[in-house]
Amino acid sequence: MSKPKVGVFGFTGCGGCQLEILNLEDQLLDLVSAVDIVHFREAITEYSDDYDIALVEGSVTTKHGVERIEKIGDIAKIIVAVGACACTGGLNCLKNLYGLEKAKDLVYGDKKDWIDTIETKPIDKYVKVDYMARGCPPNRFEIVDVIRSLILGRKPEIPNYPVCVECKRNGNTCVYELGMTCLGPITRAGCDSRCPNSVSGCEGCRGIIDNPNVNAQKDVLEEYGLTVEDIMENFNLYNACKKIEQK
């Protein structure tokens, strides 16, 4: 097995995903020896344009970003989107909700013309994404799983079942019982139900499963005296770029 060359790239985001890679702690040294990291701004100075696998963090929000992601698309054999911003557009999409001009006005006032910004999009709007390690931040073990799978030549196992499954395996009390709302029933698992583990409702940072039962979710909300608006506020945090089809 020859070592795959890996590049880690950051677009608009908080750097948390790359940090989660550095947070691998016990496994970091194994990672460094299992692959050749040829490009990783957050950790190394050297860089190269010769890589097989691109791990991409962040969403595309500038014209310059579009050029860069397209270049990565030309070079990399496999592209892995890492984190909510890259996979679904994440929090950055909130900007779209306000409209570009209004957002620029609010932050930069009369100096707004100096700013290069376009509508926020996840990277798969520009390049073919092979795998996604979702979440904000992504589960670092899932990142390892994706990398390891790519080394071994297998398909990473990324669940398509809802967070409730993991939540129950962890023996949590459902937060609805505690009077909170939760997007767990329609959000893709893989985070080990981190938020419910901490007695907080899931905010849907990993995106929606393939076949969500949206109508049932509405019924549940009604049952607990809540409205769709309540949950949309949460839903929009990470999924403003995606519209749920109302089935």
* Residues between 193 and 212 with contacts to ligand SF4, criterion CB under 6 A: 193-196, 202-206
* Cβ closest to other proteins, residue 129 vs residue 235: 235
CA proximity to 194, closest of 185, 186, 203: 203
Name the residue type at position 73.
G
Out of 8, 81, 147, 182, the residue judged to bind ligand SF4 by CB under 6 A? 182
Alpha-carbon span 22 to 44, nearest angstrom? 11
Strand partners, 131: 80
Out of 173, 222, 227, 244, the residue judged to bind other proteins by CB under 8 A? 173
Q: Which positions from 103 to 132 touch other proteins by CB under 8 A, shown as an x/- string?
A: xx-xxxx-x--xxxx---------------
**What are the structure tokens assigned to 115, written together?**
């700013």
Judged by CB under 6 A, how many residues of this single chain contact ligand SF4?
23
233 binds, among ligand SF4, other proteins, none (CB under 5 to 8 A by kind): other proteins
CB atoms within 10 A of CB 28: 15
Out of 55, 133, 144, 150, the residue judged to bind other proteins by CB under 8 A? 144
**What are the structure tokens assigned to 152, written together?**
């071994």
DSSP 3-state assignment of 85?
helix
Alpha-carbon span 224 to 177, nearest angstrom? 9
148 binds, among other proteins, ligand SF4, none (CB under 5 to 8 A by kind): other proteins
Name the residue type at position 22.
L
Q: Which residues bind ligand SF4 (CB under 6 A)?
A: 135, 163-164, 167-168, 172, 174-176, 182, 184-185, 187, 191, 193-196, 202-206
